[in-house]
Amino acid sequence: MPTTQPLAQRLACVEQRIDRACREHGRARSEVTLLAVGKTRAADELRRAFAAGVRCFGENYVDEAVGKLDRLRDLDADWHFIGPIQSNKTRTLSARFDWVQTVDRAKIARRLADQRPSSLQPLAVLIQVNIDREPQKAGCDPDEIDALAGFIAERDALALRGLMAIPSAERSASERREPFARMRSLFERLARVHPCADTLSMGMSGDLEDAIAEGSTLVRIGTALFGPRPG
């Protein structure tokens, strides 16, 4: 796809892929949220995406995100943090974001809860799961979900909303559904204990169909929406 292709056209293409996957797998389109991943993109690009109808935005880097959040204050959008969390950044995260999708340890959950301004509604939290148990990857081990979920659920300043995962990229096309299927069963188990958990964040530009097939309720899309990232 040429980078000059207008955003509206790219968005229409992504919407069509989501629609088709939903239809193919017996899902209602309304069950799947499109999150536009804005890392490395200028605030103006996000503003254009908002004008085209996008309402949820994801950011990976706190310092980069804060500048954009300042410039886009006037937009009625939901802001999701989807990057790795350093403990010295939790105060900013807790004050500026609506969702944090990458909570993977109690220490971070405690800081986010303690630092959430009381004027704001509870911070929506997803537990990031290292579903393929990759050594260098963020996310808690699947066996640690229950304990961490219990810890989050006890905090009034946090709202436990579900799970997030980034499966290993080293899979052939025919094997891509398998980690998503394991996430689905972990999510269903979590939701039985925590009925407010309604969000399963999985699927990116290259595999959103496989994720939707296995019950994703939120796909995180960068490249397919904004074109290839520079660098």
CB 188 within 8 Å of CB 216: no
Residue 44 CB, nearest approach to ligand PLP (Å): 19
- Using CB atoms, what's the residue nearest to ligand PLP? 222
Residue 129 CB, nearest approach to ligand PLP (Å): 12
Residue 48 CB, nearest approach to ligand PLP (Å): 17
> d(Cα 53, Cα 11) in Å, to the nearest integer?
9
Take residue 149 and report the two structure tokens written for it. 């979920």
| Distance between start and end Cα atoms, the chain | 17
Residue 150 CB, nearest approach to ligand PLP (Å): 25
For the four alpha carbons of 22, 27, 28 and 33, in that order, the dihedral sign comes to negative
Nearer to ligand PLP, 112 or 157 (CB): 112
CB 57 within 8 Å of CB 36: yes
Nearer to ligand PLP, 155 or 214 (CB): 214
Nearer to ligand PLP, 69 or 166 (CB): 166
Residue 60 CB, nearest approach to ligand PLP (Å): 5
Exposed/middle/buried for residue 217 (C-beta within 10 Å: 0-12, 13-18, 19+): buried
Nearer to ligand PLP, 6 or 206 (CB): 206
Nearer to ligand PLP, 37 or 140 (CB): 37
Q: What are the angstrom distances between the C-alpha of 29 and each of 22, 39, 92, 174, 216? A: 6, 26, 33, 24, 11
Instruction: Name the residues that contact ligand PLP, by CB under 6 A.
Output: 37, 39, 60, 82, 166, 204-206, 220-224
